[in-house]
Homo-oligomer: A and B are copies of this chain.
Amino acid sequence: MYKPITIKDIARALAISPSTVSRALSDSYEINELTKKRILDYAEEHKYKRNPIASSLRHGRSYSIGVVVCEVANSFFSQAINGIESVAYAKGYHVIISQSHDAYEREVMNIQHLANRSVDGLLISMSAETTDFSHIVDLHGRGLPFVFFDRIINEFETHTVTVNNREGARKATQSLIDKGFRHIVHLANAPHLSITAERLEGFKDALRDNQLPYTDSLVRYCHHGGRLQEEIEDAVAYYANLDQKVDAIFVASDRLSMGCIQAYHQLQPVAQHPAIAGFSNSDSLNMLQPDFTCVRQPAFEMGRAATEKLIQLIESRYPVYHFENIVLETEIITH
């Protein structure tokens, strides 16, 4: 059907050898300027397109990188993907996106699938449910480069890109305290995620700074990252039953904030909700909750940085022993 023109076709038409054509197209130096021009003109005119599959086979590389995030319909991740694509395309790589939906099985399946599809490297933000990392450790051990962003693991050394979660969490909590709230709880993500522990520390920092008491009972975890609305509703119900009336919540993520507001909407009018502050890269959330304070992550920049490091790993001719753990700052938006 769709039969594109090949290097051989050009060679035949111009009565030269395929290798010369290849050289012209890859802009080799050892070629006559005139021959090169003839070839390039012909290629242009006949809309020659290099066959990337053949090229990949030859080079043993696919010039594509895999991305695994929990979901794309999420402001943070979609912005990060834009950053990833901007770098990847500029460097001639293709981006293959897949979603884990925060489920362990889907994460394993996707990573396996991408590795089979011979991506040259993987950019991962861990699924909330994952506690067994052997699928990743295994592939990494076999030489596949990985870079983690946002939700990282420490099973082996590699580049990572994160934000200063602890400080972001502290600032968000502090903003609630500044507004006069004293009974502040924390709606947290899955307990084994790297970001969960860090954000919890920031929450504690803020309480401590203000001589407010901390107990573990102030924290509710969502083991599926909010994938089940039920887990959020349980937390909200739990807060409602505390002896102390909760007047503010520090929420660990966008999705949880959304679920949280949704849960309260079913219970009572907006005016009576606790105040909410939390990590969020969504523009619509602060419309929902008029006084919503959010901690913005530089998602686009994180995607960019992670991709740059990954491509460095992929293109490095020598084994890499020195890894960078890039930590960017968050920005807080108060109302």
Contact = CB atoms under 8 A, between A and B. Distances in A.
A144 to B, nearest CB: 5
A185 B142 CA distance: 61
Contacts of A78: 71-73
Interface in A244-301: 258, 261-262, 265, 283-284, 287-288
A176 B2 CA distance: 50
Contacts of A89: 113
A2 B57 contact: no
Interface string A67-79: 0000111110010
A49 interface: yes
A283 B255 CA distance: 12
Given A73-B72, A75-B73, A78-B72, A52 B116 contact: yes
Contact of A287 (B4, B75, B262): B262
A143 B262 contact: no
Contacts of A75: 73
Nearest to A285: B284
A317 B160 CA distance: 47
Interface in A3-62: 3-4, 49-54, 56-57, 62
Interface residues of A, number: 43
A255 B323 CA distance: 41
A118 interface: yes
A78 B71 CA distance: 9
Given A143-B1, A262-B284, A53 B49 contact: no
A130 to B, nearest CB: 20
A327 interface: no
Contact of A96 (B74, B96, B99, B143): B96
A25 B251 CA distance: 50
Interface in A65-115: 71-75, 78, 81-82, 85, 89, 94, 96-97, 99, 113, 115
A117 interface: yes
A72 B62 contact: no
Contact of A288 (B49, B94, B116, B288): B288
A11 to B, nearest CB: 19
Given A53-B56, A72-B97, 15 more contacts: A2-B144, A3-B143, A50-B116, A51-B118, A57-B57, A71-B78, A72-B72, A73-B74, A73-B78, A85-B99, A89-B113, A94-B96, A262-B283, A262-B284, A288-B288
22 contacts: A3-B143, A50-B116, A51-B57, A51-B118, A52-B116, A54-B57, A57-B57, A71-B78, A72-B73, A72-B97, A73-B74, A73-B75, A82-B99, A85-B99, A94-B113, A96-B96, A258-B284, A261-B287, A262-B284, A262-B287, A284-B284, A284-B288
- Give the top 6 A-B pairs by smallest Cβ distance, nearest first: A2-B143, A73-B78, A1-B143, A72-B72, A53-B56, A53-B57
